[in-house]
Amino acid sequence: MKNLPIGVFDSGMGGISVLREIKKLMPNEDYIYYGDSKNIPYGKKTKEELEKICLEIGDYFVNRGVKSIVIACNTATSAVVDKFRSRYKIPIIGIEPALKPAVQMYESGKIVVLATEVTLKEKKFNSLMNQYRGEAEILKIPAPRLVTVVESGITQGVEAEESIKELFKDININEISSIVLGCTHYIFLRNAIKKALGENVKLIDGGYGTAHNLKTILSSMDMLSNNDTNGCVEVVNSSEDESKIELSYKLLNI
């Protein structure tokens, strides 16, 4: 059981950003990464559609014999994490917008949460947001275009920067305290966001917290690998476009 792989999935290549953090923390583990680029964007789908899609991926992982599943997608976590935990008898780790650390470091101004429409509408996120509503002004901005940009392999340059500027065209950036990157795709746009909005903007994501949570849970269950060499990563993608796999490996090694 200890040396079984860990399954990680996302709507496409965004979850690679979470896998990078996990791999840094647990380099001796083996991983299977499933990018569901065929069904992207998750943010435009109904909850029922997402449940069907994600449960098929969950079943795939279980049939592959993973010891844990990481839902490295805010949208999918909002829609299916409870279903996964009732269906599968292995540790299930989800991810959510890193609003708590943003509030903890809050001083003044507005906290912007960039995410998909589904994440921002879900009860799970709005319950989280309501916990902190009295402590900070929180602004929700849906940003589906940024997912498409990253899936196209664009993480910097004019197109990326213009897509970001468009989101903030009616907002005074000097009034922003921090920006929560509530979709794992957006993390690959860190440099582009800084160029578009200024170097002083604080960017916060949940990748490290998710990795740390996974390690804590596996350790408590005595499920950490006892391999003394670096583990391997297998990338699978639902799309017939083989370049998606190639790009995923490239993003993993940045």
- Tell me the catalytic residues: 73, 183
| φ, ψ at 93 (rounded to 5°) | -115, 125
Residue 74 known to bind ligand: yes
Spatial distance between the Cα atoms of 199 and 9, rounded to a whole number of angstroms: 31
Contact (CB, 8 A) for 184 and 14: yes
Spatial distance between the Cα atoms of 62 and 88, rounded to a whole number of angstroms: 8
Residue 11 known to bind ligand: yes
**Length of the chain in terms of residues written:** 254
Spatial distance between the Cα atoms of 189 and 24, rounded to a whole number of angstroms: 20
Residue 184 known to bind ligand: yes
DSSP code of 173? G
Spatial distance between the Cα atoms of 61 and 65, rounded to a whole number of angstroms: 6
- Return binding residues: 10-11, 42-43, 74-75, 184-185
- Return binding residues for substrate: 10-11, 42-43, 74-75, 184-185
